[in-house]
Amino acid sequence: MAALTRLEAAGKIMVALDKPDAAAALAVADQLRGSGCWMKVGMELFYATGPSIVQELKARGFRIFLDLKMHDIPNTVRGGARSITRMGVDLFNVHGAGGIAMMKAAAEGVKDAVDAGEAKQAPIVIAVTQLTSTSQTVLNEEIGIAGLVEDAVVRYAKLAREAGLQGVVASPLEVAAIKAACGTDFVTVTPGIRPRGADAGDQSRITTPHEAVMGGTDYLVIGRPITAALNPSEALDNILKEMTEQ
Ligand SMILES: O=c1ccn([C@@H]2O[C@H](COP(=O)(O)O)[C@@H](O)[C@H]2O)c(=O)[nH]1
Measured CA to CA, the distance from residue 38 to residue 230 in angstroms comes to 20
Is position 21 annotated as part of the catalytic site?
no
**Binding-site residues from annotation for substrate:** 18, 40, 67-76, 132, 194, 203, 223-224
Whole-number Å distance, alpha carbon 192 to ligand 1 midpoint, is 7
Measured CA to CA, the distance from residue 235 to residue 222 in angstroms comes to 11
Q: What is the ipTM of this complex?
A: 0.99
* Mutate which of 221, 224, 236 for ligand 1 pocket (most atoms within 8 A of beta carbon): 221
* Selection from 67, 50, 60 nearest residue 124 by Cα: 67
Amino acid identity for residue 60 in this structure: R
Place 1 in a pLDDT band, splitting at 50, 70 and 90.
Answer: confident
Whole-number Å distance, alpha carbon 96 to ligand 1 midpoint, is 16
Which CATH architecture best describes the domain 6-243? Alpha-Beta Barrel (3.20)
pLDDT per position as a tens digit, 93-113: 999 999 999 999 999 999 999
Amino acid identity for residue 66 in this structure: L
Whole-number Å distance, alpha carbon 115 to ligand 1 midpoint, is 32
* Residue of 21, 30, 58, 67 with catalytic role: 67
Residue 2, pLDDT above cutoff 90 = no
CA dihedral 141, 132, 175, 228 (to 10 degrees): -160
The domains of the chain are located at 6-243
Locate all alpha helices (DSSP H) within the chain, ordered by sequence: 6-10, 22-32, 43-49, 52-59, 74-86, 99-115, 136-137, 149-162, 175-182, 209-214, 224-227, 232-244
Average pLDDT over residues 223-241: 98
Amino acid identity for residue 158 in this structure: K
Average pLDDT over residues 106-130: 98
| Model confidence, pTM | 0.98
Residue 246, pLDDT above cutoff 90 = no
Residue 22, pLDDT above cutoff 80 = yes
pLDDT value at position 156?
A: 98
